[in-house]
Every structure is written in C-alpha cells, then in structure tokens.
A and B are shown apart, each in its own frame.
Chain A
Amino acid sequence: MTRMKPVDVVIVGFGWTGAILGMELAEEGVNVLALERGSYQDTSPDWIYPNIADELAYGIRGKLFQPLSRETVTIRHALSETAVPYRQYGSFLFGNNVGGAGTHWNGQHYRPSPEDMAFESHIRQRYGAKFMPSDMQIQDYGVSYDELEPFLDQFEYLCGTSGQAGNLNGTIQDGGNPFEGVRKRAYPNPPVATTYGAQLFADAAKSLGHHPFPQPASNASRPYTNPYGVRLGPCNLCGYCERFGCYMYSKASPQTTILPVLMRRSNFELRTNSHVIKVNLDSTGKKATGVTYIDAQGREVEQPADLVIVAAFQMHNVRLMLLSGIGTPYDPNTGKGVIGKNYAYQMMSSMSLFFDQDTHINPFIGAGAGGSQIVDEFNSDHFDHGPYGFVGGAYILGGQTGGRPIQQLAVPPGTPGWGSAWKRAARDSYRHTLSMQTHGSVMAYRDRYLDLDPTYKDAYGQPLLRITFDWHDNEYKMSRYVTDRMLEIAGALNPKPKQQSVTIRQSGDHYDIRQYQTTHTTGGVIMGKDPQTSALNRFQQSWDVPNVFVTGASAFPQNLGYNPTGLIGGLTYWAAKAIRETYLKNPGPMVQS
C-alpha cells in the first residue's frame, strides 16, 4: 500500500461542509487535504448555457448524481424484513463530484426555529413527556439557537441569501416570517421577484390571516460579493435549479462561493477520484491516524493525518463510521449504541391547481427557491399542538421551481395517463397550473435506523448501508393537519381553479422509494449532550475518537420541517470556530463526557 506524506487535516468528501472547513482551516495556516471520490467540476465548462438546459441529461438521467451502479443503499420497511437495493433513483438523490449535492440543490435556505434545537426539552416542557409516543426518541442538539445565530448568519452571507427578515433584534418585520428566531441583521440580499402563482397563493393566505413571506433563497437576487470576495450573479428565474448546476453563477454552491479562493491557497490540496474506504485508528482505538482511500487507478493509499473530518453526504458519513469501527453501532432491540441511530426523513404533501386558459401561471419562470411564498404558521411548534396529538409540523409553499415538462407537467385528476385525452389535458393544463406543497418534519424512533447490509456490496466489495424506515402515526397526523390548512388556502384563491389534485401520504401507506420526496435524509451520527445517546458532542466532535469530526445532516437528532442546508452550514461554521480557536491549540475532547 502506498503511504502519502502526512497532513494536518484530511477532509473526506468535498461538498458544502468539506469546502467550508477546507476554507476555514486553511485560513488557520494548517495543511489541509480534501479527498473527493468524484472529479472536478465548475460552472464553466460543466454547466454552461445552453447545454445545462437539458432536462433529460440532468433532471431525469441524473448527470450530477452519484452513479448507483457503483454504490447505493438498501432499504426495508421493518426490522423483520430483508432489505433490497435502491437500484434506481427515486425518493432521494445523492450528489457526486466536487460540490456534491450542494451543486444540484434548490437554494431553499432556512434557519431552524429556536425550539427545533432543543426539541425534546421543549416538547416535554410544553406538553409533558407523555405527549410523545413511547418509541419516539427525539433529542436536543446540545447547541442553542442563540449560540448558533452568528454562524447561521455567516452561512447566509457566504451564500448571498435573498429574503425578507421577519425578526430583526426582536422586532417583528412586515413581510417577513414572524415565527423566525431573532436575527441580528437582515439577509444580505432582498427577495427574488415573486412569481405570479406564488402571489396568488400569498394573497389567499393573507385573506385567511396568515403571514406569507418570500422563501429565503440562495439564488442571488442581484450581483453580490461575499465575505471571501467571491462574486455571484443575479438569478434570472431560468427554471433549471434542482438537479442542475447554475450557469448564471446565482445559486450558492461551493463553486460559486468558496472554491475560487480556496483552490488558490498553497496550504490546501484537493485530490479527486479518491474514494475513502476507512478512517484508520491506532491500537487504542481512541485516536485516528488518517484514512485509507482508493485512488484513480484503483490502488489503496494510506493518508496519515492528525485530524480527520468526515464531511460526505449524511448516509455516507454513517457508513464510513460503521466501516471504520468508530463508536458503537446502534442496536434497535436494546436502544443502545449510537452509530446509525435516529435516521429520519421528511414528509411532504402536494397540490396541483388547474386554472382556465386566461390565467397564465407560466410555470417555466421559476427558481429553485426564489419567487416562491411560504406560510410557516404550522411548522415546528409555532402553534399549540395540544389538541392534535402530534409533534412537529410543516411549512406550506406556493410557487414553482420550474416547468420542465418530463418531470413537472401535471394533468387534472381523472385524466388518463396516455392517449389523446392525456395529450389534450397536457396542452390545456401546462401553462395554467399552480403548485403548492407542505414540507414536513419526521421524528426519530427506536426502530428507524441505519446499519451495514449483510448481503449487498459496492464496487469495492464493501457492504452497502442499510436503511430501516417507514412512516409513523405522528407523521401521518402532522401531514393531514397541515395539508388541511393548505386546502383552506387553495379554497381562498382568486381566481378560483377549475380543478385540483392532492397527493398526501395516508395512514397505512408505506414509504415508497419510487417517488421523489426530498433529499433531506438525516441522523445516524447525531450530536447531543450525552455520549450514551449521541455520537458527537455539541461541536460535532466524536465522543469516542476526539480527532474525528463529522459534519452534515448526519448530526440531526431528528428531522425538522425546513430544508436542512441552512442548519448544516451554520453547524459547520460553529464547529469550524471551535476547531480553530480551541481544538487546534489543545487537541482533545472539547466536552468532557
């Protein structure tokens, strides 16, 4: 095996969190090496116009996705079942290459609500411990919203997020989200122009007494230079965000916010086509010595490092921890062990509303986040859950992310799936369809977790990660409640739609991996206050091996109703500061267990 020259810090995976930590730690002067299993990619030449405006290549075949042919996951609904491979993309989408899923996200950029960060404590205090079902095992993050606020802000200013503040230093702002936590300063950019469909939604919501606001968007609404000196261009609502790279340099990604500066630093190195298979430990098992990866030619390479940062996608982080033997694997029968624990997802419902020929929604005028409107009254714990018997919630969105016809064309209910009637309905509906959706939280449960599959292997012969997941009653109730609120908004629309269709997961429906839902999978290497119940301390540092940090949504103890990227970025900057100011001066556990 080839042994490389030691480095101070090795980062596994080069998406959002890898790029942030690469930048922050390189600024500290240490030698940083990032290992990315994919190849290099950048706005030019990879996502240039008009080549990027190709729904088939990117949106359907998934040119920016991790090839499942080499590595996937397996899935089962219950402990008693045998898992089968996720052979084709459906429910969620992995990223690939430099930037990872941070290149093909939508830019929907939220902060958590303050109560989300200490959710178990909050629910117990407000409703009593018995309000939670006995198999629900939600937890606190161990870091508060107020502690995290400067870092959530830092990530927004990195991304050039466009939005309207709702709570500036404790003063509620007109047109913003009145439920948001205190923010110390406004968003760096004003909201992206609201699309027509979103405006109809917002008007209807207002007539019911709700407080709609522009969705916070990391699609820059104007030219913007971020604190690293990198410049983003204004979004033109081209309709090619999710599943695509941004040819306008508008959507925040590592490429549009960090890499132009980081790639020039002499103490930073990126090695692509480097697939990490293991974090190496010394004989005590308490200290990491580096990582082993497979290089572009297929050789095993040992990379010694003093500090290892596991910064891949949520599921890949969990798998690497299990493959490396760091921390105790979670056992769903005893509830003991921490790695793989508290896997969670999100639950969506959606509506299509079909207007007459005079109402031009023009769905192709869209951005991943910009232009949509949000109602947050029924998310997190913004309302009294007492009468309803569930915890968590969802925001309600009205608007459009694009009108790409293979994936985003809807026809009215009752239309056949093919033939002349389908074709006529497609023609008559396409330009006149408004979309709404609810985007909801999923709690953590004792029998929902991740471990290594006993049968299926990746292209290198390593076991695949196995998901054991299905919906619980709490989430069916949550989705029904918030979807009913969405239906009320639909009923208040002016003009009135001719027809509408609703997709909702009903009690008893199994998790269906064929339908895209969200890529917001969470948990498995969760952070918390107690090493008995969490894998990481409040700084995302491994309790068991203190020179290993794990970043990303794998740290979430349960899933919130918001898109995760804003919280992921905030937690990463929070960890970066702790590493820079505390860990590097005195390596070792930053929280005593």
Chain B
Amino acid sequence: MPSKPESPSRRVFLRQSLTAVPAVTLLGPGALAAPTAAAAPTAAAADYAPRYFTQPEWDFIKAAVDRLIPSDADGPGAVELGVPEFLDREMEGAYGHGGYWYMQGPFVPDTPPTLGYQLRYTPREFYRAGIAAVDAWCKGQHGKHFAELTPEQRDDVLHQLEKNQIQLKDVPAGMFFSQLLTNTKEGYFSDPMYGGNKQMGSWKLIGFPGARADFADWSEQPGKPYPFGPASIRGDKT
C-alpha cells in the first residue's frame, strides 16, 4: 500500500534544488525576464548527424525551423536549441513510423478538415514527400532550393504554405506546414532529453520551471513571481 510517495531520486532532486535557492533568490525575479540569447550556444545542430533525413532534407529542415522560431535578441531559436535533431529523432521512432495513428484504409483525403487527418502518409513519409514538393516548387519559382533562399523569401514561402496558396505535388501545402510547425514547437518546448530545447533554453525564455513539479509552498503565495529556473527530467538545473 502506498504511504511514502517520495522515491529516492525525488529526495535527491529536491535536496539539489534547495541548494540552488539562495543564489537564485539573490538574482531576484527580474533575472527571469532578462533575455537569455547572449548566454545560449549557437548552431547546436551542427554537431548532430541526421539518421533519417538526407542532406538536402536536413538543409530544408534547418532552413525552415530557423524561420518558424528564429534566434534573435529576445532569445534562442529552434536551430539553436536543437529542434532539427529532435525532428530527426522523432522520424526514427514510433511516432515517425505512424505507430500512434490508425493507418488502415480506405483513405478519403478529400474529407472535410473537421474530421481530421485522412492521408496515407506516416509522419516520416509526409516529411519526405513534403520537403521534395516544396523544394521542387522553389526550384521552379526561384531557381533555387528552399534552403538557398534568403530569410525573407523563406518566410514568404512558409506564409504561402500556411495559407494553402501553393499547389504542391501529392501534398496538401497547409497540412504539411501545420505538421512542421506542430513538431517544431514540440521540439522547442519538450524536455531536452529528446534533442531539442538544449540547456532548457525555451523554458528559461518563457519562465516555465520544467520538471520541478512541486509547488506545495508556492500555491499559498498567490501572485508572487516564481523565482526558480527550470529543471530537466535528467536533473539539470539552471
């Protein structure tokens, strides 16, 4: 019968968390709101060799997520935090292979959108087909692949995909954009152990404490700024 909810690892974690309290408190709540871009590493994706994406696809992914969540003076962007690595790892897992989805036919892709995803692509197939289609469109339109376009041109292509204004071969543009944006935000905000959100950069940016998951005392201090930086599942803290 459960009577002692704390596991040893939790006790260790809490002890470690507590040792961090004085230093954080000295900085005061304003420290959380400060831009963190200066302290963040750059080009985190450079060290990672993709397993699923081919080189042209990898170039596309980096060029696309860099515009979806850019690095700027406000804080780190998707490339900086390793979102391309996250995406590549997802493609190799059960999710990428469509393991979470019902994938039996018949498929009726022209179903009203309110009835949900009805394509026969698994996520990894969807990315492969979608990237090829966007690159082909860019080649036809601009004479260059997507990754070779200027940031402004890439933004323009992404806007057109989002609004479903581009006819792509075999891929509904809006759905492909939506898939890419959804997964990019997942990689940006999920625990760093999945490859994105390196050094918990996105959590620091918004002020999410991550896996601290213990607010017994803070629930009784309504309206006070929360002073502690984030913790990850593997126990990293800032």
Contact A72 B102 (CB under 8 A): yes
Q: Is B226 an interface residue (CB 8 A)?
A: yes
Q: List residues of chain B with CB within 8 A of the CB of A56.
A: 186, 190-191, 194
Q: When the two chains form the complex, which single residue of B184, B206, B207, B233 contacts A53, counting CB atoms closer than 8 Å? A: B233
In the bound complex, CA of A261 to CA of B1 (Å): 8
Given A357-B33, A406-B190; A199-B117 close (CB under 8 Å):
no
In the bound complex, CA of A174 to CA of B191 (Å): 43
Given A53-B213, A371-B219; A84-B95 close (CB under 8 Å):
no
Q: List residues of chain B with CB within 8 A of the CB of A88.
A: 100-102, 116-117
Question: CB-defined interface of B1-39 with A at 8 Å, one 1/0 digit per residue?
Answer: 111011101100100000000000000000001000000
Q: Is A206 an interface residue (CB 8 A)?
A: no
Q: When the two chains form the complex, which single residue of B5, B72, B101, B209 contacts A423, counting CB atoms closer than 8 Å? A: B72
* Residues in B153-192 with C-beta less than 8 Å from chain A: 155, 158, 162, 181, 184-186, 189-191
In the bound complex, CA of A469 to CA of B201 (Å): 43
Q: List residues of chain A with CB within 8 A of the CB of B72.
A: 420, 423
CB distance from A532 to the nearest CB of B (A): 33
Question: CB-defined interface of B85-99 with A at 8 Å, one 1/0 digit per residue?
Answer: 000000000010011
Residues of chain B at interface, number, CB under 8 A: 72
Contact A405 B108 (CB under 8 A): no
Q: List residues of chain B with CB within 8 A of the CB of A424.
A: 74
Residue of A nearest to B208 (CB): A405
CB distance from B184 to the nearest CB of A (A): 8
Contact B103 A87 (CB under 8 A): yes
Q: List residues of chain B with CB within 8 A of the CB of A250.
A: 5
Contact A84 B213 (CB under 8 A): no
Q: Is A336 an interface residue (CB 8 A)?
A: no
Given A84-B115, A423-B72, A510-B114; A238-B214 close (CB under 8 Å):
yes
In the bound complex, CA of A43 to CA of B210 (Å): 21
Given A55-B190, A193-B220; A61-B95 close (CB under 8 Å):
yes
Q: When the two chains form the complex, which single residue of A54, A87, A261 contacts B191, counting CB atoms closer than 8 Å? A: A54
Name which of B44-52, B62-70, B134-142 contacts chain A: B62-70
Q: Is A86 an interface residue (CB 8 A)?
A: yes
**Residue of B72, B116, B184, B189 contacting most chain A CB atoms (<10 Å):** B116
In the bound complex, CA of A195 to CA of B223 (Å): 9
Given A56-B186, A87-B116; A49-B102 close (CB under 8 Å):
no
CB distance from B134 to the nearest CB of A (A): 16
Q: Is B202 an interface residue (CB 8 A)?
A: yes
Contact B102 A69 (CB under 8 A): yes
Contact A49 B2 (CB under 8 A): no
- Pair count A-B, CB < 8 A: 215
Q: Is B143 an interface residue (CB 8 A)?
A: no
Given A231-B1, A248-B5, A419-B68; A69-B99 close (CB under 8 Å):
yes
In the bound complex, CA of A512 to CA of B116 (Å): 8
Q: List residues of chain B with CB within 8 A of the CB of A54.
A: 190-191, 211, 233
Given A60-B186, A405-B203, A431-B206; A236-B99 close (CB under 8 Å):
no
Residue of A nearest to B13 (CB): A50
In the bound complex, CA of A274 to CA of B67 (Å): 48
Contact B190 A84 (CB under 8 A): no
Given A56-B194, A87-B103, A196-B222; A230-B1 close (CB under 8 Å):
yes
Residue of B nearest to A457 (CB): B104
Q: Is A412 an interface residue (CB 8 A)?
A: no
In the bound complex, CA of A249 to CA of B5 (Å): 6
Contact B101 A84 (CB under 8 A): no
CB distance from B227 to the nearest CB of A (A): 11
Q: Is A415 an interface residue (CB 8 A)?
A: no
Q: Is A589 an interface residue (CB 8 A)?
A: no
CB distance from B213 to the nearest CB of A (A): 4
Q: List residues of chain B with CB within 8 A of the CB of A511.
A: 114
Contact B208 A403 (CB under 8 A): yes
In the bound complex, CA of A511 to CA of B98 (Å): 25
Contact B114 A514 (CB under 8 A): yes
* Residues in B205-238 with C-beta less than 8 Å from chain A: 205-216, 218-220, 222-226, 231, 233, 235
Q: Is A513 an interface residue (CB 8 A)?
A: yes
**Residue of B3, B7, B186, B215 contacting most chain A CB atoms (<10 Å):** B215
CB distance from A217 to the nearest CB of B (A): 13
Contact B222 A234 (CB under 8 A): no
Q: List residues of chain B with CB within 8 A of the CB of A582.
A: none
Q: List residues of chain B with CB within 8 A of the CB of A55.
A: 189-191
Residue of B nearest to A464 (CB): B102
Contact A456 B104 (CB under 8 A): yes
In the bound complex, CA of A86 to CA of B118 (Å): 9
CB distance from B190 to the nearest CB of A (A): 4
Q: List residues of chain B with CB within 8 A of the CB of A335.
A: none
* Residues in A461-515 with C-beta less than 8 Å from chain B: 510-514
Q: Is A455 an interface residue (CB 8 A)?
A: yes
Contact A360 B224 (CB under 8 A): yes
In the bound complex, CA of A56 to CA of B103 (Å): 22
* Residues in A354-404 with C-beta less than 8 Å from chain B: 357, 359-360, 362, 364-365, 371, 403-404
Q: List residues of chain B with CB within 8 A of the CB of A239.
A: 213, 215
Given A72-B102, A237-B216, A514-B116; A44-B7 close (CB under 8 Å):
yes
Contact A406 B189 (CB under 8 A): yes
Residue of A nearest to B203 (CB): A405
Give me the 4 closest cross-chain CB pairs, A-B, nearest first.
Answer: A196-B222, A53-B211, A56-B190, A238-B213
Binding site for B on A (CB under 8 A): 43-44, 48-56, 60-62, 67-69, 72, 75-77, 82, 84-90, 192-196, 199, 229-231, 233-234, 236-240, 247-250, 256, 260-261, 357, 359-360, 362, 364-365, 371, 403-406, 409, 417-420, 422-424, 426-427, 430-431, 455-457, 510-514
